[in-house]
């Protein structure tokens, strides 16, 4: 449906996760027999959840623990883990600073150069402890450190920026990252993001991406939508990119997972993203609430420390329980932020979906009142969904 914006400009209506609902079909399935397994870059995982490459979310020990529990964590190769031999003093300062002094402190701490030796060391530490070494860098850092990442034995390489495309116009004489060449020659599966449209997702898949990250600006700590005015609400973005995946699979026989990245807080959000077509989700703030998370109860985005245009902030998320409780339960909170796997399996059972591919086929409706209908007491008393 197109809408007349004014003059000759028409626009398309796009939908966020909070504006849709999932519709039960003609059967139900026992949650115990649902199958949530998925694969990326030849690596199989039970839980379709990736912890974001953010310094308040994933360090070496968290990456290892996430793998042990059946999920996946991505280490930020341009964060404090690779700028400091011991990142703990920097993390302590980030947790202690006031909100008005936060951005200058981040710019100071992240001005310390990334050290290649620490990149190699962190990858080795994850592998030595039995974890999957999934690491992330911006395109500029991928140019600089890609060889070291491969030599260190990384299992997955995420190349991430606010917006990524296969066609980039830059200043004359400046080296640019050729994504197709990187995917072909890296020797490690390359996951690329972020994008929000059918055409760009399809081009990234054709370039050889092992996975595509979808989402611009919906993250809890991200301010890109306010700073840049850029983004598409996540339900529409995921559905469009999932359509590109399906067409690419029909053309080539190769399935490239679509990963919804950002704007996901509860188990219900995860379920809706998968129903829109995602194969998995990348989440930050829900994992930052784990007792084991390095952020000390805080969460901040990757673009926060930018020396010229910060596009993120630090938010307080608190600490609500162990990582195991958040991922696998049992939950002690009633707001959908714990036992995320249990929520997904229960939703799949309710909807009659045995597998994630079944889940991607369930009926979705536009439902702006889904989270408020009948919840007046919860909202007034700040309980459950009214918190």
DSSP track, 68-108: HTT-EEEEETTSHHHH-SS-HHHHHHHHHS-TTSHHHHHHH
pLDDT reported for residue 222? 75
- The DSSP 8-state label assigned to residue 355 in this structure reads B
Would the pLDDT of 306 be above 90?
A: no
pLDDT level of residue 243 (50, 70, 90 thresholds) = very high
- Cis check for the bond before 194: say yes or no (omega within 30 of 0): yes
Point out the catalytic residue in the list 222, 241, 271, 276. Answer: 222
Instruction: Note the pLDDT tens digit of each residue in 187-233.
Output: 999 999 899 999 999 999 999 999 999 998 787 777 777 778 888 99
pLDDT of residue 227: 79
**Tens digits of per-residue pLDDT, 84-139?**
999 999 999 999 999 888 889 989 999 999 999 999 999 999 999 999 999 999 99
Phi first, then psi, for residue 301 (nearest 5°) are -85, 170
d(CA 173, CA 162): 23
| pLDDT above 80 (res 383) | no
- Are 363 and 22 contacting, i.e. CB atoms less than 8 angstroms apart? yes
273 belongs to the catalytic site: no
CA distances from 313 to 39, 106, 288, 299, 319 (A): 32, 10, 14, 8, 18
- Dihedral over Cα of 130, 136, 142, 144: its sign: negative
Tell me what percent of the residues of the chain surpass a pLDDT of 90: 78
Residue 195: active-site member? no
DSSP bridge pairs for 51? 73, 283
DSSP helix/strand/coil, 270:
helix
| Residue 239 pLDDT | 98
* Average pLDDT of the segment spanning 14-39: 96
Q: How confident is the model at residue 317 (pLDDT cuts 50, 70, 90)?
A: very high
Look at residue 229 in the predicted model and tell me its pLDDT: 83
How high is the pLDDT of residue 176?
80
Q: What pLDDT is stored for residue 99 in this prediction? A: 84
**Any idea which of 161-165, 173-177, 262-266, 276-280 has the lowest mean pLDDT?**
173-177
pLDDT single digits (tens) 160-175: 987 787 776 667 767 7
Decide: residue 171, CB within 10 A, 0-12 exposed, 13-18 middle, 19+ buried: exposed
Average pLDDT, the chain: 93
What is the band of 308 on the pLDDT scale with cuts at 50, 70, 90?
Answer: confident
The two beta strands, 38-40 and 43-45, are: antiparallel
Tokens of 110: 């992240």
Considering the entire predicted model, what is its pTM?
0.94
Q: Which residue has the tokens 């920097």?
A: 90
Q: What is the mean pLDDT of residues 312-340?
A: 94
What tokens does 361 get?
């086929």
User: Of the listed 45, 311, 314, 328, which one is catalytic?
Assistant: 311
238 pLDDT band, cuts 50/70/90, is very high
What pLDDT was estimated at residue 43? Answer: 98
With contact defined as beta carbons under 8 Å apart, do 147 and 157 qualify?
no
Confidence of residue 370 (pLDDT cuts 50, 70, 90): confident
Backbone phi, then psi, for 263, in 5-degree steps?
Answer: 80, 15
């Amino acid at each position: 449906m197109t809408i007349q914006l004014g003059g000759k400009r028409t626009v398309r209506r796009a939908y966020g996760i909070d504006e849709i609902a999932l519709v039960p079909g003609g059967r139900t399935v026992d949650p115990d027999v649902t199958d949530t397994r998925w694969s990326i870059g030849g690596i199989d995982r039970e839980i379709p959840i990736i912890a974001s490459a953010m310094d308040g979310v994933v360090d070496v020990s968290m990456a290892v623990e996430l793998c042990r529990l059946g999920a996946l964590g991505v280490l930020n190769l341009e964060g404090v883990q690779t700028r400091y031999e011991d990142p703990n003093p920097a993390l302590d300062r980030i947790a202690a600073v006031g909100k008005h002094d936060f951005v200058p402190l981040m710019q100071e701490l992240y001005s310390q150069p990334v050290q290649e030796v620490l990149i190699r060391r962190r990858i080795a530490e994850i592998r030595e402890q039995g974890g999957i070494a999934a690491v992330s860098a911006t395109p500029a850092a991928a140019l600089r450190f890609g060889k070291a990442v491969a030599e260190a034995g990384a299992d997955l390489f995420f190349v991430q920026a606010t917006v990524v495309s296969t066609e980039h116009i830059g200043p004359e004489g400046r080296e640019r990252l050729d994504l197709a060449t990187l995917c072909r020659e890296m020797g490690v599966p390359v996951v690329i993001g972020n994008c929000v449209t059918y055409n760009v997702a399809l081009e990234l898949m054709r370039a050889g991406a092992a996975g595509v990250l979808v989402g611009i600006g919906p993250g809890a700590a991200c301010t890109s939508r306010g700073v840049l005015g850029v983004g598409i609400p996540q339900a529409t973005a995921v559905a469009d990119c999932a359509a590109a995946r399906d067409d690419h699979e029909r053309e080539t026989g190769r399935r490239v997972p679509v990963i919804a990245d950002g704007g996901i807080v509860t188990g219900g959000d995860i379920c809706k993203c998968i129903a829109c077509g995602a194969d998995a989700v990348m989440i930050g703030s829900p994992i930052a609430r784990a007792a084991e998370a390095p952020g000390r109860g805080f969460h901040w985005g990757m673009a926060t420390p930018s020396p010229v245009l910060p596009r993120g902030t630090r938010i307080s998320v608190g600490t609500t329980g162990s990582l195991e409780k958040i991922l696998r339960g049992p939950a002690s909170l009633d707001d959908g932020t714990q036992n995320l796997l249990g929520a997904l399996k229960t939703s799949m059972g309710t909807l009659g979906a045995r597998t994630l591919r079944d889940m991607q086929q369930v009926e979705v409706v536009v439902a702006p009142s889904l989270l408020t209908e009948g919840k007046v007491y919860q909202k007034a008393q700040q309980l459950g969904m009214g918190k």
